[in-house]
Structure 1
């Protein structure tokens, strides 16, 4: 079997990052062939949200809130995978992806990170992928009523009455606890 060509292109009219990937194969004889095709699996985030459920996709002072330290946990996609994470600081006005505040990898099924408190016009953007033996085997996504993303956005505020008040209000605005 011989790989004739590999093609990757952005699909017009779709979200950024939606790619169509194809591999054209040329079978050189009539004998049956066994093809092992690696499929990327969805990483199931279990804490502080459940990405199997729809979440609030509001940033800029209206989305998910957590107090430091933030623990993000997930289920394994395959045994002995390496999980690669990135956390960016986003800004609301003007909207932008800011600097990387944390980047690394772990074999653990959680990340416990002490992030600075966000300002009123800031939020964090968390991204997670998985690799095994140098091959990508997993990625995360979140979804809301009208949106699909490959990240999780949240704010960090100090614990206390203000935190308790915002968590209480979030139960009425659709954000998860």
Structure 2
């Protein structure tokens, strides 16, 4: 996976899928955390971001998704468990198959998957709940999900002060 440490900062190259059903979005959470993220994962060396997302969602949800267009490229600067991160995320629109099955939960239900040492929980959330009782990371996507852009947008999120 493309994740490495440099100058005291962990760099991650991440992909994620924006899976919408009406006014709901599919999110996942790692057990023991207080935040939710869009499903996806890290890119392997030599792997295109769209192919990485297809692979990650096949592994996580057990279904053959259709990866659509790139919505956002998000640069996130944050600190987690005392470690500084710089994450570059590619967020694609994703369509589920007509009858998804696999580990895609029905609305109002959750599904779970063990991913190495992490237990992932998948659940649909109303877009109106994001930022209001549901902590989505990066938070810059909360409002953006309600109005996906017509062309790819670059967003920057910082939860720490910029270096002078």
Question: TM-score normalized by structure 2?
Answer: 0.25
Q: Between Structure 1 and Structure 2, whose CA radius of gyration is higher?
A: 1
Specify which structure has the bigger relative contact order, considering alpha-carbon pairs within 8 angstroms and separated by 6 or more residues: 2
- Larger % of helix: which? 2
